[in-house]
Structure 1
């Protein structure tokens, strides 16, 4: 039943990721452009240069804000990663030395024998 749930979660996350690939690429490009514009704005010494870079930055910021729903695609990619990571994970039921009463018994028996 666990694998079925992982399969369904993986299929849904894959569909959401595929639906948001375009906006994710758009967000990445617009953030790179915005970073470049901010660096050029800081380097610019003239007022007209700062105004032009400020307007370009405003356009890039608007494009970035328009692609914010693509963060859902990033979350879907993370869910796909978790599904992949947990697909073949098995529960191991091993006793630790503190939890296994027979280990302590054997230690005490060995002490009594001495």
Structure 2
């Protein structure tokens, strides 16, 4: 369970860093730029801890899939990005893929 918590920290840190990229305005604003660098450093550190127990393919699929969904949500909430039906469908398919992998695949067990 601890390894899944590490993965959650990695995901949240990566989402924060990716979301701050827009606010950094091409790394021309100090505080958002520092958040980007710190967020990615924390994300990769915790991802590396996760990989001690969770297979890299599984960890990366969950990390990238949930990261996409969460960054899309932040873009919608914080930056007013419009999401049409295909965008929502695609996001739903990503969530479904992560769920199928974790609920039904034997490759996720350690």
The normalised TM-score by structure 1 is 0.39
Q: Which has the higher contact order (CA 8 A, sep 6+)?
A: 1
- TM score, norm. by length of structure 2: 0.40
